[in-house]
Chains A and B, each alone.
Chain A
């Protein structure tokens, strides 16, 4: 039986649960690359060119780690969710970059709703490629998608409950693949939790609810994931104390979307850009002073 490799980066933070449920149901063994560490990040830096963003470099590091540990690596191409719901070009290009850089078998599917290529078709394609029967794939897909829908609802409710907590609440506006990554954003989460802050995550809201809200404040957004983020801001701006924008260097959609958001919001905010400089000191200064500011009058 062939093993599927899943890199713990980029797509992982959007689709890992669906993939895992789907593969589990079909009894296909898979390996997930470990949490990012310095070694993986260094591998990515070595392979990638200078123009790529930190997150993509990291992704390539994960692929490099997995390349001789499995038979297939799962690399989709996510290009759009209907008109004006594009994803970042890295999500378009990931498959081609991987195919060009590595000599490996790639499990591949497209998501391009403009051309009718859905997640369903994609997963069916994968199932077939792994020699599974049509009806088994159908069942596995159903199983995975129902679980995912439940999860979205649950996460949304958890986030709503967090908004009612009496602690200082900070919304972190970031892509999940930056925020939850062990080397990129985890230190920030740890620092905030240590300082007794309730963190609200933008990606945990139900995108169906938030995406429409993003139109109110920000009319012509082009990127799907920016809509997620900015919709979440519009959704809960009056219930939080501050906003932290976190983006990796040099993220193109963020440079546009976060910029608009910073001009429109009325809450205090902090803009953080992460690069591969390993020191946390600079971030700590900014976080500490931001928390001081949210703490209210300091000169009494």
Chain B
């Protein structure tokens, strides 16, 4: 039996799973949409991974990251639960030890990580506003009636991208509607959108940061060739996009899981696991906390959200 390690990155838009071996080689991976239900998504993900994983491997450790990391961590009894910034940095550093800047645009978050000598020096993450992230692009794709996966190809066709306000998505959207009604070609509008994502990113999280090459661009949006093109154009630097750029977070957390072996073996058989969450509002005091109780096979494992710590 060979040892292997599972890393799962549950993002707001997509759920990623990677299984690596002792030498950090990717044995198999999967990428599916979260569709607002992380528990179901992870169950489906594990089904896919189970069929892909060669029989001689045995999972020795599991790590979770992404916005639903705590919930899924509980569900799978993960040995590591870590935030996505650390996971991304570790994942990238395993393959590119010399990297200086990591640009990352995900479904809801966008971040920039500056690295020097393999140590994170500084990073920035979008604050309240989710402008210019993947969810914005996919909602605009729906409006234009195009699959978001094809966005990049459309953008590359354009000769002169339209100007779209880059500051705020609400303005961007009204700009976009206006430009479409006036009669601009779809390619030009999409190219303009991709450009506005780049400008928005550099104005928001990238503001005041020294972006030094080698630069790696990752996260779901890095699969969009249009965005990559405009990053290159505006930064005037080469941008590396790994073929696994969308999996970097999952790889990082798998590497971390490898370091935190618990000694027990995990199975991917979760079909019969009953994992439920019940939300309710506590009215014992005027705080009215929104509580979330988590049940694993009808047994209460944890509850979150109380301010007083009673639950």
* A-to-B contact residues, CB < 8 Å: 37-40, 249, 262-263, 268-269, 271-273, 275, 277-278, 281, 284-286, 288-289, 292-293, 296-299
> A297 to chain B: which residues have CB within 8 Å?
118-119
With contact pairs A285-B67, A299-B94 given, residues A272 and B127 touching in the complex (Cβ less than 8 Å): yes
CA distance A104 to B252 in the complex (A): 59
B182 within 8 A of A: no
> Which A-B residue pairs are the 4 nearest by beta carbons?
A289-B85, A39-B286, A273-B127, A289-B83
Q: Is B90 in contact with A299, judged by CB distance below 8 angstroms? A: yes
> B67 to chain A: which residues have CB within 8 Å?
281, 285
Q: Is A299 in contact with B93, judged by CB distance below 8 angstroms? A: yes
CA distance A270 to B212 in the complex (A): 20
Q: Is B285 in contact with A273, judged by CB distance below 8 angstroms? A: no
Q: Write the nearest CB–CB distance from A171 to chain B, whole angstroms.
A: 16
| A269: nearest chain-B partner, CB-CB | B122
Q: Write the nearest CB–CB distance from B94 to chain A, whole angstroms.
A: 7
With contact pairs A40-B286, A292-B83 given, residues A298 and B90 touching in the complex (Cβ less than 8 Å): yes
> B286 to chain A: which residues have CB within 8 Å?
37-40
Q: Is A293 in contact with B290, judged by CB distance below 8 angstroms? A: no
| A284: nearest chain-B partner, CB-CB | B83
* B-to-A contact residues, CB < 8 Å: 67, 82-86, 89-90, 93-94, 118-125, 127-128, 208, 285-290
> B85 to chain A: which residues have CB within 8 Å?
285, 289, 292-293
Q: Which of B119, B124, B288 is in CB contact (< 8 Å) with A39?
A: B288
10 new A-B contacts at CB < 8 Å, known A285-B67, A285-B125? A37-B285, A37-B286, A272-B127, A273-B127, A285-B85, A292-B120, A293-B85, A293-B122, A298-B86, A299-B118
CA distance A77 to B290 in the complex (A): 37
Q: Is B208 in contact with A263, judged by CB distance below 8 angstroms? A: yes
Q: Which of A37, A38, A288 is in CB contact (< 8 Å) with B83?
A: A288
> A288 to chain B: which residues have CB within 8 Å?
82-83, 86
CA distance A273 to B125 in the complex (A): 11
CA distance A278 to B290 in the complex (A): 9
> B86 to chain A: which residues have CB within 8 Å?
288-289, 292-293, 298
> A40 to chain B: which residues have CB within 8 Å?
286
CA distance A38 to B308 in the complex (A): 13
> A263 to chain B: which residues have CB within 8 Å?
208
> A262 to chain B: which residues have CB within 8 Å?
208
| B120: nearest chain-A partner, CB-CB | A293
CA distance A296 to B286 in the complex (A): 41
CA distance A289 to B249 in the complex (A): 13
| B97: nearest chain-A partner, CB-CB | A299
| B89: nearest chain-A partner, CB-CB | A298
CA distance A17 to B150 in the complex (A): 63
Task: Choose among A281, A285, A288, A296 the residue with the greatest number of B CB atoms under 10 Å from its CB.
Answer: A285
Q: Which of B120, B122, B123, B287 is in CB contact (< 8 Å) with A298?
A: B120
| B288: nearest chain-A partner, CB-CB | A38
CA distance A225 to B163 in the complex (A): 40
